[in-house]
Copies of this chain bind each other. A is one copy, B any other.
Amino acid sequence: MADFKLMRELATQGKTKIVLLVMDGLGGLPMTPGGMTELEAAKTPHLDRLASEGTLGLSRPIAAGISPGSGPAHLALFGYDPIQYDIGRGVLEAFGIGVEVGEKDVAARGNFCTVDANGVITDRRAGRLASDKAAAVVEKLKAIKLKGVECEVRHVKEHRFVLVLRGEGLSADVQDTDPQAVGAAPLPARATSSAGGKTAALVNLWIAAAQKILAGEAQANMLTLRGFSGDPNLPKYRDVYKLKAACVAVYPMYKGVAKLVGMEVQKFDGDSPADEFAHLAQIWNEYDFFFIHVKPTDSRGEDGDFDAKAKVVESVDAALPTLLDLKLDVLIVTGDHSTPAKLKSHSWHPVPLLLWAPAMHLPDRCQSFGERECILGGLGQFPATDIMPLALAHAGRLARYGA
């Protein structure tokens, strides 16, 4: 990516502090035409003051019309082109449940499925097997041992699980075993390069052992694996941006992605925004950059609960003084994507963004933090990958380009 070339060339060490406060799925929509969005409806006196002092805009996570998953959306926030830098599905699924995927490991997503007497798939999700039943089946699979590699298998939800192989000489160059269709048999694991040969052979041994264990199951009598992936070896914050970065998050997925870009993942007590801000205050002197992740905005959006989502935003606003007492140089408040309660899902809409960096930002006429104000903001609409360069510039951490 050309911009990392620029960042590597221009980013400088400094003493300024940057906070990136992400309310997951922040962007919203009115429940009825002409109504307010969740963010507009929330009472946010602190954010509104920051909005009137700062500059607003709308960030686009991936591209026009594209609704992102959490992985690519956070990569974009962190400045990584989410099309170019791809965290594999297996790794993301592992991160989502707090399973580590180290530099030498290979992770895959697993699905239980139902096959008939001929081994042909009749249900790709094993009847969406109940989570408690699936977890019990996963327990049995933990007995599988392969020579020379550790096999970690962990249940995710319903018919889904994760398999991580750990050992020497592994490679993620292995094709999915999921034929993506009912009426076909699961495929054997096939290497897509010579590097993947050993791993494919091990995976096939593991599948064969699993098949024996599953033979007696009524629904989950077979499985498929896909998204074989390892550490994507992303450039690190310290190298690209010259930032020592901390991640203050509660959910494993976000800790996982933050770790991949070189942030130091924090352990702390509690799980509220207030707890997160309190921890940030404690580590304030140790880092240059702080990523704070607030999950429930997204969760309540997915629930379709407009009022509850607005309340989460209000809880963040209420806790904000702890953060603002810290004499930060740059604060960016935004989401990784929109999750309108109206749609009960991630959406493609651009995401409200507030940039506050006293006396450094372009003035606009916006007076409060909300979608309609952000449309008129001084930052306009821009790719989320611009957020980090903007943060660095406003923190006085980017040298001039050219003479």
Contacts and interface: CB of A to CB of B under 8 A. Distances in A.
Given A58-B380, A362-B375, A72 B6 contact: no
Contact of A398 (B53, B348, B379): B348
B33 A53 contact: yes
A64 B390 contact: yes
Interface in A343-392: 343, 345-350, 358-365, 371-372, 375-382, 386, 388-392
Task: Count the copies.
Answer: 2
Given A65-B398, A66-B10, A365 B359 contact: no
B71 A402 contact: yes
Contacts of A347: 393
Given A380-B380, A381-B382, A398 B66 contact: yes
Contacts of A68: 400-402
A70 B401 CA distance: 9
A77 interface: no
Contact size range, A: 35 or more
Judged by DSSP, the binding face of A is: loop
B389 A380 contact: no
Given A6-B83, A389-B65, A393-B65, A400 B362 contact: no
B358 A365 contact: no
B62 A382 contact: no
Contacts of A371: 362-363, 378
Nearest to A35: B363
Contacts of A379: 381
Contacts of A86: 402
Contact of A33 (B3, B10, B358, B380): B358
A63 interface: yes
Contacts of A58: 380
A403 interface: yes
Nearest to A93: B403
Contacts of A34: 53, 363
A37 interface: yes
26 contacts: A2-B83, A6-B83, A33-B53, A33-B358, A33-B359, A34-B53, A58-B380, A63-B389, A64-B382, A64-B393, A65-B392, A65-B398, A66-B389, A69-B401, A72-B402, A73-B402, A82-B401, A87-B402, A342-B359, A343-B360, A345-B400, A348-B393, A363-B372, A365-B375, A375-B377, A380-B380
Given A30-B359, A64-B382, 15 more contacts: A33-B53, A33-B359, A65-B386, A65-B388, A66-B401, A67-B399, A67-B400, A68-B402, A71-B403, A72-B401, A89-B403, A92-B402, A343-B360, A350-B362, A375-B378
Interface of A: 2-3, 6, 10, 29-30, 32-34, 37, 53, 58, 62-73, 82-83, 86-87, 89, 92-93, 342-343, 345-350, 358-365, 371-372, 375-382, 386, 388-394, 398-403
